[in-house]
Structure 1
Amino acid sequence: MKVNLPEEVVHVLHTLNNGGYEGYVVGGAVRDSLLGITAHDFDIATNALPHQVKKLFPNTVDTGIKHGTVTVIVGHRHVEVTTYRAEGEYRDYRRPNQVKFISSLKEDLSRRDFTVNAIAYSPATGYIDFFNGMKHLSERNIKTVGDANARFREDSLRMMRAVRFACQLNFQLDDTVLSAIRDNAHLILNISKERIRDELDKILLLGAQKGILLLRDTGLLKLILPEVHALQSPQNFTCPGYDIFMHTVNTTQYTDNQLALKLAALFHDIGKPHCSTVDGSGMRHFDDHAQVSARMAGGILKRLKYDNGTAKRVIAVIKFHDIECTDDSKRIKKLLRLMGREIFVDVIKLKRAGILSQDTKYRRRRLEKLEHMIEAYENIIKKDECFSLRQLAVDGNDLLTLGFKQGRRIGQVLNKLLDAVIEDNGLNKRDILMRMAREYLD
């Protein structure tokens, strides 16, 4: 089997060879091609030193020249070309303290994380596989190059990368990898919050259910998200053994593949252990858990340094996720006014995912109620019924013409007019609203 290489990549390889150097495509492009997945990014490893690479190509960028990487620009394609290298000691559990350029492809590949990422290819030689990566691909197995404990102690983020690749490729973690992650999980605390966040995002988007369970089973979850790990307690909903944790895992899997929704699903019930009460009949209740979960989610999002836009959206969706389903158009318009249309739609999506992860005994009835709510919402949008100040037939400038003075009073009156319009959309006409506004003049 050949790797289908773009002509620009072939040109780089041929130029290196014609200059007397080796050149191989390495990493994800080789792995994905062997799996029948179209590759888009191509990285090349070579025994040419960076200054020698720059001499061979007229258009280059020094993207990481200290670590041996030069980006070669051919037409519209950017190809990263990196000199074979050996790495020194990892003192911060993330990066080597020094890099030494070498001439051996095998030694270069030996420093890589997983065997499936340590296969090289060139049209001249075909595949070069020193570490049985092709065998592990066929077995659908994530295995480290060399000793797993050593690999994870060098770069502790590799533990989360192992989980991510298992999700991305739908592979299993080799027993040696599972054992080594469990033994070294505590080292993840040496990794920056931003890098943990970035890997978590990829895991949620590539395979949330599998990823969360692997994070739990490896011991990583209780270290990076102890609030989610704490959900593993019985939840007395409808059947014995059904717990909040598995409900959360399944909800995160079922929700739309948008990061904010995945995060909202993951955190939407983390407040339940803090709100749990049992009534006289033995039924468990979680009053105000949405508010508590939203506050706790805010703390997690800040800790992992999410941007403000993502954090605000996630917190809002969690805050409103427990609203009761209704097909009453007035109530829906009040909810739209309160949340805004974008958050309302996200809440609906999260509610659907939550229902799909509940006991089948109640699923159909709850889905029907949700569908009725969606139909009522869509009817409001289709008829362009008013639920926001922006949709009112009058604005602040209109009230100024009536003699209102600039200030808070204008906002108060507009909101009173909106109250009336939500009750009766037929009132949303300029002449009617201007007449109503005059009644509020001091």
Structure 2
Amino acid sequence: MAEHRQDIKWKYADPAMAAGSAEVIRILLENGYEAYWVGGCVRDEYMGRNVSDMDITTSALPEATSSIFERVIPTGIKHGTVTVMMNGQPFEVTTYRVEEGYEDHRRPSRVTFVREIEEDLRRRDFTMNAMALGIDGTWVDPFDGRKDIDLRLIRCVGEARLRFREDALRMVRCIRFASVFGFSIAKATWTGMLEERDTLSWVAMERIRSELDKMMSGPDPLRGLELLKGSGLHSRMKIPFPYKGHEQAIMQAIPEVPSERLDIRWALLLFGCGIKAAEADMLLREWTFSNRRRELILGLLAFQETWFGEERGRDPEADRLAWVRLVIERGADAAENWLLMQEAISPVDSPAQTFQVDEARKWLREMEVRELKDLGVSGNELLKVMDRRGGPWVGEVLNHLLLQCAAGFLVNDKQVLIEEAKRVMNNEVR
């Protein structure tokens, strides 16, 4: 049921991307096929959100699409998808299709190409994603996706249980959309989720973690977390999330951290749920976080545990030296991220902690050296000056010099450092 309006002019897409995708559609039309923009780009344009990519659906079979365009990559040709390169940009072009036989709650065992776009849209997850838009402004919206967007409602296309049974990840996507868009979930969709939630254990953690990353970087991650808990999905994952009760002040700090500092948000979530660094290490590995991200998050948790593992505030100088040691041990980047985490927590949670954060930031600025490469003397230079065989003593002396310089007790000057190294070694010999 197509509805015509004035020619489309994209407001929320990159002009070059919009022009390139329009050219793909125009060429398909000129060759006698139907073609539309479809899915997320159509939804986001209607919602006034930034359009990040532009997918196209067409009546042309993959072989026909491949023969029409000069540069085509057969990215998913078995399922009807090829990537057309136009003006240096990639555009996924997929043949109208229906899918059957989701044996693993993810991949269809059979894909059948169809002639009508409405049949293709019928297989999609939510009404807001089951819309298409023609180059001339023609809307194809058989399931009232625009109406549901206006109602701020997430609703499955057709029977919710069937949609979730086809791909169990759709349940997490539903919650992610509700969290990011601030939408409600239709009653029948929520009921279908509760009835099919046990199938989530089929889904690879990498796919779930990707959805959770999008949710955690959104404007209201706390809403998403509550929906995960309320639906019970958090305990149905292949690697369940071990909720152990929450420190509300810590959880409330998550959205206070800028969304681009996603891993600080994750550290706050783990911290707020009482998960220590040792336990978090295994969880992050099993949830498929990259080594870099895992180390960043664990560094923040370890920083937190070390700093607040002892009483602070009674002896400012002792606190300063403890801070310097911790920065040397964990790194200045971890210290900076930890301070951002504390700034999100402390205004709400503890005025006394605000003072500690301000002091710690001042102490960090005052550290002229923060790692061994910053020292004015190297291990090789010490070996020459000392005229001694190498051994563990070199590292021990360098670390002593680093701490003394970082704490401001020594000037980072080569001769001063060499004299201090000689003093340390002479005391060791005696």
Contact in 2 for aligned 1:255/1:261 (Cα 8 Å): yes
Q: 1:53 to 1:420 in 2, by over 3 A?
A: closer
**What is the alpha-carbon distance in structure 2 between the residues aligned to residue 344 and residue 91 of structure 1?**
48
**In structure 2, what is the equivalent of residue 376 of structure 1?**
363
Q: 1:424 to 1:352 in 2, by over 3 A?
A: closer
- CA drift of 1:357 comes to 5.0
**Is residue 55 of structure 1 aligned with residue 39 of structure 2?**
no
- CA drift of 1:161 comes to 0.6
**In structure 1, what is the equivalent of residue 414 of structure 2?**
430
**In structure 1, what is the equivalent of residue 292 of structure 2?**
309
Match of residue 108, structure 1, among 116, 120, 138? 120
Match of residue 250, structure 1, among 249, 252, 272? 252
- CA drift of 1:422 comes to 4.0
**What is the alpha-carbon distance in structure 1 between the residues aligned to residue 407 and residue 89 of structure 2?**
58
**In structure 1, what is the equivalent of residue 353 of structure 2?**
366
**In structure 1, what is the equivalent of residue 235 of structure 2?**
222
More deviation in 6-15 or 184-193? Answer: 6-15
Contact in 2 for aligned 1:393/1:429 (Cα 8 Å): yes
- CA drift of 1:222 comes to 2.6
Contact in 2 for aligned 1:270/1:296 (Cα 8 Å): no
Gaps of 5+ in 2: 1-5
Give the alignment's Cα RMSD to 1 decimal: 2.1
In the superposition, the TM-score normalised over structure 2's length comes to 0.87
**What is the alpha-carbon distance in structure 1 between the residues aligned to residue 408 and residue 51 of structure 2?**
56
**Is residue 420 of structure 1 aligned with residue 404 of structure 2?**
yes
Which aligned pairs between 1:184-195 and structure 2 lie closer than 5 A?
Answer: 184-195=196-207
**In structure 1, what is the equivalent of residue 82 of structure 2?**
70
Displacement over 6 Å in runs of 4+: none
Identity among equivalent pairs (%): 30
- CA drift of 1:182 comes to 1.8
**What is the alpha-carbon distance in structure 2 between the residues aligned to residue 211 and residue 91 of structure 1?**
28
Match of residue 191, structure 2, among 179, 200, 206? 179
- CA drift of 1:365 comes to 3.8
Length, aligned pairs only: 402
**What is the alpha-carbon distance in structure 2 between the residues aligned to residue 214 and residue 163 of structure 1?**
6
Amino acid in the other structure paired with 1:83:
T
Q: 1:204 to 1:71 in 2, by over 3 A?
A: same
Higher relative CO (CA 8 A, sep ≥ 6), structure 1 or 2? Answer: 2
**In structure 2, what is the equivalent of residue 156 of structure 1?**
168
Which aligned pairs between 1:63-102 and structure 2 lie closer than 5 A?
Answer: 63-102=75-114
Q: 1:303 to 1:45 in 2, by over 3 A?
A: same
**In structure 1, what is the equivalent of residue 144 of structure 2?**
132
Which aligned pairs between 1:207-218 and structure 2 lie closer than 5 A?
Answer: 207-218=220-231
**Is residue 260 of structure 1 aligned with residue 291 of structure 2?**
no
1:29-83 Cα shifts (integer Å, max 9, x gaps)? 1111111223231111111111111222222111111111111111122221110
Contact in 2 for aligned 1:71/1:78 (Cα 8 Å): yes
Which aligned pairs between 1:281-300 and structure 2 lie closer than 5 A?
Answer: 293-300=276-283
**What is the alpha-carbon distance in structure 1 between the residues aligned to residue 390 and residue 189 of structure 2?**
67
**What is the alpha-carbon distance in structure 2 between the residues aligned to residue 124 and residue 200 of structure 1?**
36
